[in-house]
Amino acid sequence: MKLSEIFRLVYLNLIQNKFKVILTSIGIVVGSATIVLVIAIGTGSRAEVAEQFQNLNAGAIDVSYEGSSSSSSGSATTEISIGGTTFSLDLGGGGFSMDFGGGGGMGGGSDSRTNSEAVTLSTDDMEDLEVFVPGISDATISYSTTASVEGGDLSSSSYYTVAGVMDNYAEISNLSMAIGSFLTEENNENKEKVCVLGYTTAKEIFGSAADAYDETVYIDDRPYVVSGVLSEMGTVASGISPDTAIFIPYETGIKYITGSSVSPTITVIAADVNNVDTIVANIETVLEDSYPNSTFTISDAGSKMEAASTSNTTLTLLLYSMSAIVFLVGGIGIMNVLFVSVNDRTNEIGILKALGCSRRDILLEFLLEASCISLIGAILGVLLALALTPVIQMFSVRVDISVTAIALALLFGVATGSIFGFYPAYKVSRLVPVVALNQE
């Protein structure tokens, strides 16, 4: 039998059994849609992780204050100085005790930092880390707060994240300028009221980055001149999202906005990323000497990247496993339907064999039917995945559908139909013509 005749038989059988073909291919439809979305979500997740960390140096280490680790519950301590003698009263447990410290202003040489004293990291601490911790190439300090902002196209005051940063923050965080320049050391030393807007913030307040440049915004009712606008980043550095933030000089923010109630983060850069663990240990030692009763949170960008990548890989493998299971179920469905089809078409097979069709022709016909059914299911699955993409994106899940994902879905769909359809087709080709013609 000619190949064209075999394709015609396959076409006629598929056309005459449209409903059965659709039902048979449901498993392949779901499997194809799943594999397209799995690859798309996995690709989107990897891209999102890369974007989230693109402005973080792999050797960046963040240090922030967590809180006191040794304060006593249910007690309070106060100090009274009388005639040069310090009395320390512990008012806990329903009574009190008195500790007579040494005379003089130093209180007998005791540490001036008590267990209950909150720690505020400062530029001095940053400089201590640069001096006493070897292997650090650069360091900066920053903090963020929320403040009311007016100006530009805003009809009323809105609240934005305002970050106090040093002049080297942009370089350390790999931030680039869309227009203008970043804050300078002179801006910080002179406590000047200048600012740099994130890309999204500039668009919301002024309509565009170009319109925002050299304009004035009012932060907590004080005017700040916009010295520049950042390029769109879509990332987070030291807990600050550059796109939606307003950057001001570190000292300016302390003077006019936050006062002393600020909890900054010190960011240091390891000259060699392979020495990050050693540098973290040395940082802990230096901070322990300065603040013996305090706990600090120290995290490095490399560990964050590795954790995010590991989580993404685990999720992707889980989704791939789901795809494999769905394809297996779909393949079994095709096999079952083909077995039923063999019983329904036994006489037809007998006639074809009586007319001279070889085992190879019968095998090829049924195998092509299985492949075509799975191909139809794969195509429908791809269309279903494209239709579901906007719905998934509504849940803030990034989906990047690629040609590779579509090609793989079609390939796996056809392969599933061919593999699971081979055995039924082989059984059909082995039927004896006389037995097939006589079977009711």
User: What whole-number distance in Å separates Cα of residue 331 and Cα of residue 371?
Assistant: 11
Amino acid sitting at position 329: V
What are 232's two structure tokens?
């769109």
Contacts of 99 (CB under 8 A, 6+ apart): 87, 88, 89, 90
Whose CA is closest to 187, among 212, 214, 224? 224
Residue 51's pLDDT is what?
65
Beta strands in 109-193 (DSSP E): 136-150, 158-165, 177-180
As a whole number of angstroms, the distance between CA 25 and CA 32 comes to 10
CA dihedral 440, 435, 428, 22 (to 10 degrees): -10
CA dist., res. 124 & res. 288, Å (int): 15
The C-alpha atoms of residue 88 and residue 331 are separated, in whole angstroms, by 80
pLDDT given for residue 302 in this prediction: 65
Q: What is the pLDDT of residue 196?
A: 97
Distance of alpha carbon 129 from alpha carbon 123, whole angstroms: 10
Helices (runs of H) and strands (runs of E) counted in the chain: 15, 13
Altogether, the residues listed in the chain come to a count of 440
Would you call 331 helix, strand, or coil by DSSP?
helix
Indicate the pairing of strand 85-90 with strand 97-100: antiparallel
- The angle, 0 to 180 degrees and rounded to 10, between the axes of the packed helices 26-52 and 359-393 is 40
What per-residue confidence (pLDDT) applies to 405?
86
Question: Which residues on adjacent β-strands are paired with residue 217?
Answer: 224
- List the structure tokens of 253: 């923010």
How far is it, in rounded angstroms, from Cα 264 to Cα 169? 13
416 close to 334: Cβ distance less than 8 angstroms: yes
Q: What is the pLDDT of residue 435?
A: 63
| Residues forming beta bridges with residue 224, ordered by sequence position | 217
Residue 47: DSSP 8-state: H
User: H-type helices in 234-275, by residue range?
Assistant: 250-253
Q: How far is CA 194 from CA 187, 213, 221, in A?
A: 7, 11, 14
pTM of this prediction? 0.56
Which pLDDT score, from 0 to 100, does residue 177 have? 94
CB 3, CB 349: distance < 8 Å:
no
In angstroms, the CA 361 to CA 77 distance is: 96
216 with 151: CB under 8 angstroms?
Answer: yes
- Going residue by residue through the chain, which has 440 residues, state the pLDDT in tens, using 9 for 90 and above: 677 877 787 788 778 777 777 777 787 888 888 888 888 888 887 777 666 655 556 678 889 886 543 333 333 444 444 444 444 444 444 444 444 444 333 333 334 444 446 788 999 999 999 999 999 999 999 999 999 999 999 989 999 999 999 999 998 888 899 999 999 999 999 999 999 999 999 999 999 999 999 999 999 999 999 999 999 886 665 567 889 999 999 999 999 999 888 889 999 988 887 788 899 899 999 999 989 888 888 887 766 666 666 777 777 787 778 777 877 777 787 777 777 766 667 777 777 777 777 888 888 887 888 888 888 889 999 999 999 999 999 988 888 898 988 998 898 888 887 888 888 778 777 777 766 666 55
